[in-house]
Structure 1
Amino acid sequence: MPFAVQGAEALTEKIAVRLTPAEKAKLREDADLAGLSVSELVRRRYFGRRIVHHADLKTAAELRKTAGLLKDHYNQTGGLHADKTAAILSDIWSLVRRLGGDRQEN
């Protein structure tokens, strides 16, 4: 398998870390949820980079879809209940940002 290139440098160095079977399973589970290799998960955690789980991205996508439907409803009703609609949209976008769905990173 060829070495990956991250940024300007190839990832050519390796380290060995001893773990319990439970710790290794937990790392693998977290990496799978994020759609990352265990190596990439460890690099991101150690160097303080963002990790967004696929489940969060899917939830954010559904929230964006719901916001679009709400916006369409608002437009079709000529702005009926504008204050309530604006408050709901604001809440939805806050959730999307908190889940990390405002930008994808992998």
Structure 2
Amino acid sequence: MKFKSLEGDQLDQVVHVRLTGSEKSQLREDADLASLTVSALVRRRCLGRPVAVREDQVVIKELRRLGSHLQQLLERDGELCSGDIASALRSVITYMDERTTNP
């Protein structure tokens, strides 16, 4: 079976690496979190390419959704929130916006 990289080049070379059992388990876990094969994960890490963890993106999306709801509550019921709480909520929303645009 022939394999191709994302750039379309054929992946026809093999590198053998010795690992401990725990290192191999860690690589498998990291690959699963990133929805990659172990080979793809190792290639990306060795070549300095980014590895995005799928769950991070899901968590960020959910936090942005919650922050948006909090912002709506703050705007609607502003008198219920103290200035410190309102400031903290704005900081969280700003932080999540920055993380989503620049992960």
Equivalent position of 1:61 in the other structure: 61
The one-letter code matched in structure 2 to 1:36 is L
Q: Give, in angstroms, the shift of residue 28 of structure 1.
A: 0.8
**What TM-score do the two structures reach when normalised by structure 2?**
0.69
Report if aligned partners of 2:2, 2:12 keep a CA contact under 8 Å in 1: no
Distance 2:39 2:54 in 1: 17
Distance 1:2 1:92 in 2: 46
Distance 1:38 1:54 in 2: 15
| Residues 1-106 of structure 1 mapped to structure 2, 5 A cutoff | 1-77=1-77, 84-85=85-86, 87-95=88-96, 97=99, 102=100
C-alpha root-mean-square deviation of aligned residues, in Å? 3.0
Point out the more displaced range, 36-45 or 47-56: 47-56
Q: Give, in angstroms, the shift of residue 60 of structure 1.
A: 0.8
Q: Report the identity percentage.
A: 38
**Where do 4+ consecutive residues of structure 1 move more than 6 Å?**
none
Distance 1:52 1:8 in 2: 21
Residue by residue over 1:44-74, the C-alpha shift from the partner in whole angstroms, topping out at 9 and shown as x without a partner, is 2112222222332222121111122123224
Q: 1:25 to 1:69 in 2, by over 3 A?
A: same
Report if aligned partners of 1:70, 1:85 keep a CA contact under 8 Å in 2: no
Distance 1:3 1:12 in 2: 7
Quick check: which has more Rg, 1 or 2? 2
Structure 1's unaligned 5+ residue stretches are none
**Greater helix content:** 2
Q: Give, in angstroms, the shift of residue 42 of structure 1.
A: 0.9
